Amino acid sequence: MNYTKDLTFSIVAYKNYDQIINAVNSINKFTKDYSKEIFVVDNTESNIRSNYASQIKGLSDLDNVNIIANNINLGFGKANNIALSKAKGKFFVICNPDILLIEDSFNKIVPYMENNPNIGAIIPKLVDNNQSIEPVYRRKLTVYDILVRYFHPFNLFKKRRAYHTMQDKDYSKPFRVPFGQGSFIVIRTNLMRKLNGFDDRYFMYVEDADLCRRINQVSVLEYFPYTSVIHLWEKGSHKNLKLTKWHLNAMVKYFHKWGFCRNLK
């Protein structure tokens, strides 16, 4: 397929329009050397969406933005797949609303990927506001690590948690990532389409682990240390019982798909 853009950004919205405006402004500021399109796939229900008219207008007035209003919450994976179906960019950027570009990251990312055709997707250095690297790079998701994460008493099993989040790696160098959080992933659009995008049977959570696993079956997902992107991580499922239930339900689907016994530990 001939792509007419360099970059397609896919941002899934759910009432967080002001946050997305900040993300889009950072994208437009720091990607001036590349042609781009930005899809904001809006999962906000129509009866709620009407309360955000001014924010939605402010978002739609920004350059390169295409808003797709679903009027119902279709889930994270399915919403990204809608953007994928319309993508004209050579590289597809899965971008959370809480992402901020702080430098010309794609001036480093795009040449690197073009010079390394074996790499199908990369995750740059995701940092918080204090420039600390976030623990979003993980080894293969296992039942054991889920139990440690959700049910560990008094923060035990620190060594296992550190192992799962790849704290033993040298973050000044690239390395292969079995499971990277889907907050900001740059993937070749042709590869994303070959994989049929996200498995939209997951409503929210763990679809990124599933996608990363499928990427690594046919290509390489790599940590890219040469540029930083801010991720304003809210860790919603740790604060909300409903979101926790969705997270656990998604994990059940994941282990059913990939095999419970082969993913115990």
Q: Each residue of 53-90: pLDDT tens digit?
A: 999 999 999 999 999 999 999 999 999 999 999 999 99
Q: Is the pTM of this model over 0.85?
A: yes
Residue 231 CA to residue 247 CA, distance in Å, equals: 20
The mean predicted confidence, pLDDT, of the chain is 91
3-state DSSP call for residue 53?
helix
Higher pLDDT, 191 or 259: 191
CB–CB of 39/11 below 8 Å?
yes
Domain that holds residue 43: 5-263
pLDDT at 17 > cutoff 80: yes
Q: Each residue of 119-157: pLDDT tens digit?
A: 999 999 999 999 999 999 999 888 787 777 766 655 678
Q: Which of 5-9, 49-53, 192-196, 243-247 has the lowest mean pLDDT?
A: 243-247
Tokens, residue 82 = 């809608």
- CATH number for 110: 3.90.550.10
Q: State the total domains in the chain.
A: 1
CB–CB of 42/53 below 8 Å?
no
- Give phi and psi for 230, each to the nearest 5: -80, 135
Residue 47 CA to residue 162 CA, distance in Å, equals: 43
